Amino acid sequence: MRQITIRRRKLLVLVFVVALAIALVACQLRQAPETPGDISEPEPPEPEVAEIVEPEPVPEPPPKPLSPVLRWYPRKIYLGDYFVLQLENVTAEDTIRSTLDPPAQFFPHDGGQKALVPLSYWATGDSLVFQVMVERRGETILDREVRIVIGDKEFDTQRLYVTQEQSAMRTDDLWAKDWVHISKARVDSHDEPLWEGNFLMPVEGRISTEFGEIRYINDVPSGRHSGLDIAAPTGTPIVAGNSGIVTLSMELNVTGNTVIIDHGLNLFGTYYHLDQLGVEAGDWVDRGDVIGTVGSTGFSTGPHLHWTMGIGHTPISPWLLVDEDPLALFSFFDTPDEAPEGPLR
Ligand SMILES: [Zn+2]
């Protein structure tokens, strides 16, 4: 009986110990850290998606068009010189007018509109005053007065004596016939500069008549000399003063064999009295290309080249273009504050 009791106690103790052990193991397992092999990152929390509400687009007001700005340079020039007008903040639809006679021809250039404007050697007074107007959809948005001071300049007088036979080659009727062709060749100019750099003298030789000289033929006033006469032997090659497109190459009555070159922006070069014509209308010529030879055709007292440079039909001094690329005037508008008032030359 006693042995049974002891065995039962031992059994109870054993059961107790086993139960305790199981409880301890279970407890250990529950507190066990994550196994080191498990390196998977925890799933990141779903980001909160903020609801982006697009604001209603506010329509931008149309940009207010800037007022046109007119500038000019130089402020003081001589008879037979030229200046540049520049308009900024104008569009192709705007109408530009001026009280200049002939009117200034504007061309788009560098984001603005520019015009080369001659001052005729026939101008009088001590200043040139004119208005420039810009109209947009029937409304005048610019009306500006421009005043250019005219500097003093002396021109020589030349007295030429010719035979009756020579004089007969220079009648008004013959001039009028020539003018039909010349006038057409100096109307439509390329809308960008075709020249490069300053102009070359088309031929080397003695200057027998200067630009702008006041001329008397057989003691009768006969106007002014529109270009330079350069005396050289017959057959001497004549080169294009600069690049451009030939608009006329033909024999005329008073001016003889004649070549006209459009250099763009209404700038034209005209060559008279050639012996041989070396180009045709429509030809492109580079600066320095031979365009013909020196002669004495038409109304001429000896072999020479007559070279006129003009803006439209208004002659300007060729020396200005030999001395300086006309585009040099344009660069003034990049730094207007530093530009001198003139005269430049
Ligand atoms: Zn001449």
pLDDT tens figures, 261-307: 999 999 999 999 999 999 999 999 999 999 999 999 999 989 999 99
Q: Is 301 strand, coil or helix?
A: coil
CATH number at residue 90: 2.60.40.10
Are 236 and 133 members of one domain? no
* One-letter amino acid of 307: W
Burial 70-106 (b: 16+ CB within 10 A, else e): bbbbbbbbbbbbbbbbbbbbbeeebebebebeeebbb
If you measure from the C-alpha of residue 116 to the centroid of ligand 1, how many angstroms do you get, rounded to a whole number?
24
Backbone phi, then psi, for 213, in 5-degree steps?
-60, 145
229: CA distance to ligand 1 center in Å? 5
At residue 65, the pLDDT reads: 74
Q: Is residue 321 part of a domain?
A: no
Domain membership of residue 37 (yes or no) is no
Are 143 and 167 in the same domain? no
pTM: 0.79
147: domain range?
69-152+329-338
Residue carrying structure tokens 């730094």: 335
Give yes or no for residue 7 having a pLDDT over 80: no
In one letter, which amino acid is 59?
A: P
Whether the pLDDT of residue 308 is over 80: the answer is: yes
Q: Is residue 123 part of a domain?
A: yes
Tell me the percentage of the chain whose pLDDT exceeds 70. Answer: 82
* Distance (Å) from CA 299 to ligand 1 centroid: 9
Are 159 and 225 in contact, with CB atoms under 8 Å apart?
no
Could you tell me the distance, in angstroms and rounded to a whole number, from the CA of residue 135 to the centre of ligand 1? 42
pLDDT (mean) for 132-149: 94
Q: At 5, list the tokens.
A: 């009791």
Assess whether 217 and 93 both reside in one domain.
no
pLDDT over threshold 50, residue 34: no
Burial class (CB in 10 A: 0-12, 13-18, 19+), 29: exposed
Pair (171, 144) in one structural domain: no
Q: Is the pLDDT of residue 39 over 60?
A: no
pLDDT of residue 117: 97
Assess whether pLDDT exceeds 90 at residue 9.
no
- Report the relative pairing of strands 76-77 and 139-150 from DSSP bridges: parallel
d(CA 33, CA 43): 19
For residue 279, how far is its CA from the centre of ligand 1 (angstroms)? 21
> Quick one: pLDDT at residue 62?
76
Which stretch of 1-10, 176-185, 264-273 has the lowest confidence by average pLDDT?
Answer: 1-10
Report the separation in Å between the CA atom of 221 and the middle of ligand 1, taken as the mean of its atom positions: 15
Whether residues 275 and 229 fall in one domain: yes
The C-alpha angle 150, 156, 161, rounded to 5 degrees, equals 140
Q: Which residues surround ligand 1, an ion (CB under 5 A)?
A: 229, 306
For the cut 50, the answer to whether the pLDDT of residue 32 exceeds it is no
For residue 55, being part of any structural domain is answered with no
Q: How many CB atoms lie within 10 A of CB 10?
A: 10
Beta strand 139-150 with 107-109 is: unpaired
**Same-domain check for residues 129 and 171:** no
Token readout for 186 is 């100096």
What spacing in Å lies between the alpha carbon of 210 and ligand 1's midpoint? 8
Among residues 322, 277, 311, 321, the alpha carbon closest in space to that of 116 is found at 311
Same domain, 143 and 205: no
85 shares a domain with 181: no
Q: Which two tokens mark 96? A: 């530009």
The mean-pLDDT minimum among 49-58, 79-88, 96-105, 121-130 falls in: 49-58
Q: What is the dihedral of CA 325, 157, 169, 235, to 10 degrees?
A: -50
Residue 290 lies in a domain: yes
User: Residue 33: what pLDDT?
Assistant: 45
Are 138 and 188 within one domain? Answer: no
> pLDDT tens digits for 50-89?
677 777 878 887 777 788 999 999 989 999 999 999 999 9
Taking alpha carbons only, the member of 244, 248, 333, 341 closest to residue 289 is 244
Assess whether 146 and 264 both reside in one domain: no
- 195 pLDDT higher than 60: yes
Is residue 182 included in any domain, yes or no? yes
CB 200 within 8 A of CB 288: yes
pLDDT confidence of residue 315: 97
Choice among 17-26, 114-123, 207-216, 327-336 with the minimum mean pLDDT: 17-26
CB 208 within 8 A of CB 296: no
CATH number, domain of 250, equals 2.70.70.10
Residues 107 and 250 in one domain: no
In a domain, 91, yes or no: yes
Answer yes or no: is 273 within a domain: yes
Q: Are residues 142 and 232 in the same domain?
A: no
- Percentage of the chain beyond pLDDT 90 is 63
- What is the total count of domains within the chain? 2
Kindly report the CA angle at 259 between 258 and 265, in degrees rounded to 5? 135
Question: What local confidence, expressed as pLDDT, does residue 169 receive?
Answer: 77
d(CA 175, CA 40): 103
